[in-house]
């Protein structure tokens, strides 16, 4: 019986594969699209039973090749580029692909755990899993939003006997994301900038926020994996859940944490934010015109539903998570 991980060579997918391995699970069918071949590096230290291209996997799934052969599906595969303008591609890749997998899992009573996104909330200031707060700002967010609506209808009308869980990921950062390029986390880019230029760059103020004070709910990828595995262990629990820390921290915090983690590795003492700005270690750059009206200046997950579902573990704050991440990046 396979554990299927779509987007297995991607950021969260590869971390899930590694975590399953650490639990002694190696019968993993890794599904991805390796048009970007460098993603394979994320799986080099992982054990899988087989690899299939996304298109071959869908063809074989619909042909019945996997009937009775799948233990659970972690559906992480998606185009996550919020600047992607090809709506047709986005909807086929993110929405239609997901519907096919959902229908299969419901028909065959296979647990289905999938990646949604906090982008469904758009410019909302309330981040609670309710339709009234959802208004995506781009086609990526819309593709995730629309699939969530399908899931809601299935859960409401079909009373499925198998698990369906959606995770609205907030700003995830951590190991195995370097292939994402400009879509990698700010922590990744700050590390690279500091190592190459001796400084990090943040946007100037916008939407009423001071320089670098736009706030996001930054969640470390290890915590994301732990939540996924918690629900795998509790197949009786279904629903759509925010997956963030429940804290909104400014980009300045990420920059400061990254610089100080790098300085610690160099044997140097930490600096305050004011000291970094004065020394030009932090540089504020103009806010891009292309992002105006499409940018979330504030996100903060309401994790009430997640807690009510029984998940009790704490989440790393930025200082803790970034310190771990910088140590990993320095060794990679």
Set 140, 173, 194, 325: catalytic member? 140
Active site residue 89: no
Q: Could you tell me what percentage of the chain is helix, strand and coil, using 3-state DSSP and rounding each to the nearest 5?
A: 45, 15, 40
66: CB partners within 8 A, 6+ apart: 2, 4, 60
Tell me the CA distances in angstroms from 49 to 2, 12, 30, 108, one per residue in order: 8, 19, 8, 21
56: CB partners within 8 A, 6+ apart: none
Structure tokens at 195: 């190592």
Set 18, 180, 201, 237: catalytic member? 180
CB-count burial class (<10 Å; 0-12, 13-18, 19+) for 65: exposed
DSSP sequence for 158-197: H--SS-EEEEEE-EEE-SS-GGGGGGS-HHHHHHHHHHHH
Per DSSP, 33 falls in state -
The residues annotated with a catalytic role in the active site are 140, 180
């Amino acid at each position: 019986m396979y554990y299927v991980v779509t987007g297995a060579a991607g950021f969260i997918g590869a971390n899930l594969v590694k975590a399953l391995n650490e639990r002694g699970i190696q019968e993993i069918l890794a599904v991805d699209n390796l048009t970007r071949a460098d993603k394979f590096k994320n799986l080099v230290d992982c054990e899988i039973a087989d690899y299939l291209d996304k298109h071959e996997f869908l063809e074989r799934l619909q042909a019945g090749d996997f009937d009775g052969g799948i233990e659970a599906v972690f559906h992480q595969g998606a185009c996550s580029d919020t600047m992607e303008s090809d709506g047709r591609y986005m909807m086929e890749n993110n929405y239609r692909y997901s519907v096919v997998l959902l229908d299969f899992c419901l028909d065959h009573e296979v647990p289905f755990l999938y990646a949604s996104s906090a982008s469904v909330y758009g410019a909302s200031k309330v981040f609670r899993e309710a339709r009234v707060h959802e208004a995506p700002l781009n086609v990526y967010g819309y593709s995730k939003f629309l699939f969530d609506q399908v899931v809601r209808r299935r859960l409401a009308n079909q009373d499925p006997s198998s698990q369906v869980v959606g995770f609205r990921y907030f700003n995830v950062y951590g190991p195995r994301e370097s292939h994402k390029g400009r879509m990698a986390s700010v922590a990744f880019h700050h590390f690279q900038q500091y190592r190459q230029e001796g400084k990090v760059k943040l946007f100037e103020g916008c939407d009423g926020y001071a320089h670098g004070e736009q706030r996001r709910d930054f969640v470390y990828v290890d915590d994301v994996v732990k939540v996924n595995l918690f629900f795998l262990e509790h197949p009786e629990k279904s629903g759509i859940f925010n997956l963030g820390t429940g804290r909104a921290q400014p980009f300045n915090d990420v920059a400061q944490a990254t610089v100080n983690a790098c300085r610690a590795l160099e044997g140097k003492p930490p600096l305050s934010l004011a000291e970094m700005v004065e020394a030009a270690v932090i540089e504020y750059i103009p806010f891009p015109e292309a992002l105006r009206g499409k940018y979330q200046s504030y996100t903060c997950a309401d994790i009430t539903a997640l807690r009510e579902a029984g998940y009790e573990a704490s989440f790393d704050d930025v200082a803790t998570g970034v310190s771990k991440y910088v140590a990993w990046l320095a060794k990679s």
